[in-house]
Chains A and B, each alone.
Chain A
Amino acid sequence: MVNKIVAARLLAEKTMLFEIEAEHIAQRGRAGQFVILRVSEPGERIPLTIAHRDVAKGTITIVAQEVGKTTRDLNALKAGDAILDLAGPLGRATAIPEGGKTVVCVGGGIGNAVVWPMATAMKEAGNRVIAILGARTKDLLILEDEVRAVSDQVIVTTDDGSYGRKGLVTEALQGLIDEGLKIDECITIGPVIMMKFVCKTTQPHGIRTLASLNPIMVDGTGMCGACRVTVGGETRFACVEGPEFDGHLTDFDELMKRLAYYKPEEARSLERAEHACRLQQAADQLLAERDR
């Protein structure tokens, strides 16, 4: 079986971690790169960043949050199932400083899954890694232990103060800057609005900041341009030229609008799937009652 899921684990509400057999992606993949997958026929192609690679086992790890029909289908899979189609590693790898630098990795929500490989690569190259992990609430914070294992310092923030510091990741980042910490580089991944404000926080201080962008993709190999973003006034394809770009030059507002374009269709697709699911449950229940 190709693309077999060897482990599936619930990390938080509607958030699953999958470890998948994909030897060539495990070998060739680097921090910051992504895969495109399809769960079923006639499913859509979605990009997911590689969270972890185990070269010895020949597996990759991805983390998916259920936001639409495809992620709903994906998160219903179990260990022993297979991913229908899995292509990668795609995109460019994170540019890792050669060592001796202080790097702050700022993640939010599902983006924390990608802080894990980024921090790992930064640390392995001999950099000092500070991770700031944000979540709405304690129960939604994922992969804290994994990130701690590869970071010199971890700051957790929650919107409601249920764990770590109460507040936003930008406040924690501002705190580090105010303390006089010399930050050589910042890298951020998470909701677009968060990345926008992380970049606004670092910009006045001239801290080079990379943002890992998550636009809509179709093929993910440079052929369609659905993922185009404006960086420094120029159109770039996130799938082949990214996904990481200079955050101070990125047009986040345009990205947010482009990400929202298909929201009505995504809702319709999800509603249709849930409706079918409810019908099935009702039918199962009726059959069970009849048999009783």
Chain B
Amino acid sequence: MAETGKPSYKFNKSKIKVPMREQKPEDRIFNFEEVPLGYTEEEATCEGQRCIQCKDKPCVSGCPVGVDIPAFMRLVGEGQFEAALRKIKETNFLPAICGRVCPQEDQCELVCNLNKPQQERQPGGVGRVERFLGDYAMEHGLNVTPQCDSPTGKKVAIIGSGPAGLTAASDLCQRGHDVTVFEALHKPGGVLFYGIPEFRMPKAILVREIDGLRQMGVKFVMNYPVGKAESLKSIRDRFDATFIATGAGLPWFLNIPGENLNGVYSANEFLTRVNLMGAWRFPETDTPVKDIKRIAVIGAGNTAMDSARTSKRLRPKKVYLIYRRSRLEMPARAEEIHHAEEEGIEFNLLHAPIRIIDDGTGAVCGIECQEMELGEPDASGRRRPVPIAGKTKIFEVDTVVIATGQGPNPLLTADVPELKRDARKGTIIVDEKTMQSVTWPDVFAGGDIVTGGATVILAMGAGRMAANAMHSFLMTGTTQTA
């Protein structure tokens, strides 16, 4: 098959993506299995053939890790799945994960030349094809571990095994460095393990992708909270360069009365209990989550959708989603919002929680909200919600999950006050091109610990940028590559 020139197929001129089959809402709310069922080989091929192989490739620059999207779309269109997988793995070693959790509609698919909503033309289904390839590798037991460069003799420490850490680990290992990843929890994957629910991304996929890294030679040390188990200074002494990717694990609360009542969880606690500890299978597992009759999830980002949809599967009578702004401002992905609504989650927009109510025993029996309306735009450009005088509403619930955001994880940074951080946000200050800390040349940081709570793919992009600069630093002593 020619590497250049026209693909050996006719383009598929359909205006819409090949639909992906999904579990029906009435079925899936009773299980934790994945909602979208993935493409068959035929479906993937058809979707690959929708890519018009344009010259300017806006999708590639729309991808935070710069995947050569037209190349793999074309190979899939030609039915060359293994070659397509190799192509994607040149730049992205986690296609099965990215295909599921990336916000493609804001990235590659947004800028796709096919994307013409006014003509009802949809972009190429990049995410769906990417996911297909990841799953294809898994189903066929394909081992496409990239070839690593010959050993450089340089040792790299990666602190945190979430998306930023895993990406940097993969890139640096490929370039021949000796990479060790330190993880505080007992399972690797960070937010991919404790945060993203099973029905959005099965853990088996994550486990497999991480096994791939191990096969490449990346070492993983679990149960090792750097800053506690070992100081950053000692890590720096032992390694030639260090990448801090400890994420945004610090849950924010609302600072309203009643927040410490029994039945109030941070989204982190709720999702960690269910995802990492497997509480949805209690008592087969040892970590419980309370039986829920009526639950309010506060917030409207992806974490709020994950919490609401997770709780739905624990079979409550009612799941409310409460958000102080309007639908337009909801930060979650459109697909997540759509899935949540399909599953019967009741959205209560323009409601701001003001207090959580005690049932008299120290447990939650309700949450009182101030009703809001939209006023003038604020600094973020979003219309500011303002209270409607005298209008409040009480939701009778036994559980409240607060999903209004997370701050940078303080466990490591608390140990090294000299590491320069943003005074207000607590995020580590780095050069934004190289991810090199402004404090020490051998210390880099990226992902949510630098940006505050963001997305998986942005963290992966930061991991990639850091890996490039770290490689340069390790080989030449400077991050200046040009």
Contacts and interface: CB of A to CB of B under 8 A. Distances in A.
Interface of A: 24-25, 28, 38, 42-45, 69-70, 84-90, 218-219, 221-226, 228-230, 235, 240, 254, 257-258, 261-262, 265-266, 268-269, 272
A62 to B, nearest CB: 15
Contact of B259 (A69, A222, A235, A269): A235
A262 B289 CA distance: 8
Contacts of B409: 221-223
Given A87-B186, A88-B228, A230-B260, A42 B286 contact: yes
B225 A224 contact: no
Contacts of B478: none
Given A85-B223, A87-B225, A90-B228, 20 more contacts: A28-B229, A42-B278, A43-B285, A43-B286, A69-B286, A218-B287, A221-B185, A221-B249, A223-B249, A223-B251, A223-B268, A228-B260, A230-B260, A235-B259, A240-B411, A240-B414, A258-B260, A261-B263, A261-B363, A265-B290
Interface string B273-299: 100011001111111101000000000
Nearest to B252: A225
Nearest to A2: B223
Given A218-B269, A219-B272, A223-B268, A42 B288 contact: no
A230 B281 CA distance: 31
10 contacts: A24-B224, A28-B228, A28-B231, A45-B186, A219-B185, A221-B184, A222-B411, A224-B272, A225-B269, A269-B286
Contacts of A28: 228-231
A268 B251 CA distance: 29
A240 B285 contact: no
A24 B283 contact: no
Interface in B250-270: 250-251, 253, 259-260, 262-263, 265-266, 268-269
A257 B229 contact: no
A225 B228 contact: no
B374 interface: no
Contact of A38 (B186, B260, B281): B186
Contacts of B4: none
B362 A254 contact: yes
Chain A interface SS verdict (over half): mixed
A254 B261 CA distance: 8
Interface in B136-194: 184-186, 194
A224 B355 CA distance: 21
Nearest to B362: A257
B277 A45 contact: yes
A96 B194 CA distance: 36
B253 A221 contact: no
B229 A89 contact: yes
B119 interface: no
A226 B270 CA distance: 9
Chain B interface SS verdict (over half): loop
A90 B414 CA distance: 12
Given A89-B228, A269-B286, A225 B266 contact: yes
B410 interface: yes
Interface in B118-140: none
Contacts of A265: 282-283, 288, 290
Contacts of A268: 283, 288
Contacts of A85: 186, 222-223
B380 interface: no
A235 B410 contact: no
B286 A261 contact: no
A240 B413 CA distance: 12
Contacts, number: 123
A260 B253 CA distance: 22
Contacts of B230: 24, 28
B480 interface: no
Contact of A88 (B229, B251, B290): B229
Interface in B386-431: 409-411, 414
B411 A24 contact: no
A206 B410 CA distance: 33
Contacts of B228: 28, 88-90, 221
A268 B287 CA distance: 11
A158 to B, nearest CB: 31
Contacts of B286: 42-44, 69-70, 269
Contacts of B287: 44-45, 218
Contacts of B285: 42-44
Contact of B262 (A69, A84, A257): A257
Contacts of A89: 228-229
B257 to A, nearest CB: 11
A164 to B, nearest CB: 35
Contacts of B263: 261
A126 B320 CA distance: 58
Contacts of B288: 262, 265-266, 268-269
A66 to B, nearest CB: 14
Contacts of A24: 224, 229-230
B272 A261 contact: no
Nearest to B255: A235
A240 B410 contact: yes
7 tightest A-B CB contacts, nearest first: A257-B362, A265-B288, A224-B269, A87-B223, A223-B249, A44-B286, A85-B186
Interface in B231-256: 231, 249-251, 253
B74 to A, nearest CB: 42
A181 to B, nearest CB: 36
A103 B288 CA distance: 40
B266 A25 contact: no
A152 B31 CA distance: 61
A223 B250 contact: yes
Contact of A225 (B186, B224, B251, B278): B251
B481 interface: no
A218 B272 contact: yes
Contacts of B186: 38, 45, 84-85, 87
A240 B249 CA distance: 13
B411 A221 contact: yes
Nearest to A223: B249
B284 A42 contact: yes
B476 interface: no
Given A43-B286, A261-B262, A272-B283, A218 B277 contact: yes
Contacts of B277: 42, 44-45, 218
A54 B414 CA distance: 26
Contacts of B272: 218-219, 223-224
